[in-house]
Amino acid sequence: METSYRKAQFDEEMILLLNDYVHHEWPILLWQAHAKKESRPGIMIEFQPTKKTIRLSFKQGVQGIDINKPLYCKGDEKKIVFKSFSFGNDHNSIKLGIPNDVRLQEHRTNKRYDMTSNKNAFITFSILSHYQSKASSFVLKLKDISENGCSVLMHSSNLKNFKEGDNLKVTQIGSDQVYIPFNATIRHIVPVKTKSQVEVQLYKVGLKFEQSLFFYNYYLTRHLE
């Protein structure tokens, strides 16, 4: 069966994944296009999240690797593929930058719709313990949505109101009032930082719906298909 990959951001998911590669010493294959795709097995011995760099070590050394040309890397444990350039090397290892375009294996079983360009894509919900209070109702921009969950964008000023594991009551998606409000859980909160930002201003919040969205209304069918 052919492996499906998705483009990933440098966020908590990728940081945990790269830390796993270092901790477990999972193998990484490196090759270059000009070398007829002859792969060189190695392991990741260092990962520096703040500098966005990794270091790969090779038993056979780095002789024959052209550090002035692109390097392609692939890991088969928790599959990851990316193209990078060398930041330097020594006798047995090479330092690489983590690029913006990293591909991870797609494990999602439900189609996910990108909502970033939809100006009317918002979700309204309350923290479950404060469900009866209108003052605790939040309206956030949808980043993407699937049948079983969604990601929303939240300004840093709202960060104090949420934490991972919070239970929410969803009351509206876009212009559709949910006739039977349903529960969702915050699965993760990760920063969204661009090169132009000195400080993180946006966070991506991942929500998991308690039951399939289609069970409550036909939002996806009517607005996205």
Query: Can you give the pLDDT at residue 181?
Result: 82
Selected residue with higher pLDDT from 153 and 200: 153
- Two tokens, residue 98: 């983590």
177 pLDDT tier (thresholds 50, 70, 90):
confident
Q: Side-chain half-sphere of 90: how many Cα atoms within 13 Å?
A: 5
Residue 221 has pLDDT above 90, yes or no: no
What is the average per-residue pLDDT within 193-198? 57
Query: Can you give the pLDDT at residue 51?
Result: 83
Cα distance between residue 105 and residue 217, in whole Å: 30
15, 177, 188 from 156: Cα distances, Å: 21, 27, 15
Residue 43 has pLDDT above 70, yes or no: yes
Q: For strand 53-57 and strand 86-89, is the pairing parallel, antiparallel, or unpaired?
A: unpaired
Query: Can you give the pLDDT at residue 44?
Result: 93
Residues 178/111, Cβ–Cβ less than 8 Å: no
Query: Can you give the pLDDT at residue 216?
Result: 45
Cα distance between residue 206 and residue 12, in whole Å: 12
The superfamily in CATH containing domain 113-223 is predicted glycosyltransferase like domains (2.40.10.220)
Question: 156 in helix, strand or coil?
Answer: helix
Q: Give the CA radius of gyration of the chain.
A: 21
Query: Can you give the pLDDT at residue 215?
Result: 46
Among the ranges given (5-19, 24-38, 147-161, 164-178), the one the predictor scored with the smallest mean pLDDT: 5-19
Selected residue with higher pLDDT from 132 and 137: 137
Report yes or no on whether pTM surpasses 0.85.
Answer: no
Mean pLDDT value across the chain: 78
- What are the extents of the domains in the chain? 5-105, 113-223
Cα distance between residue 140 and residue 18, in whole Å: 30
For 143-165, what is each residue's pLDDT tens digit? 888 878 888 999 888 888 888 88
| Amino acid identity, position 53 | T
28, 66, 190 from 152: Cα distances, Å: 33, 42, 11
Residue 56 has pLDDT above 90, yes or no: yes
- Two tokens, residue 105: 């294996």
Asked: is 5-105 a CATH 3.30.70.260 domain? The reply is no
Cα distance between residue 188 and residue 203, in whole Å: 10
Q: Side-chain half-sphere of 109: how many Cα atoms within 13 Å?
A: 2
Task: Name the one residue in this structure whose structure tokens are 């991506």.
Answer: 204
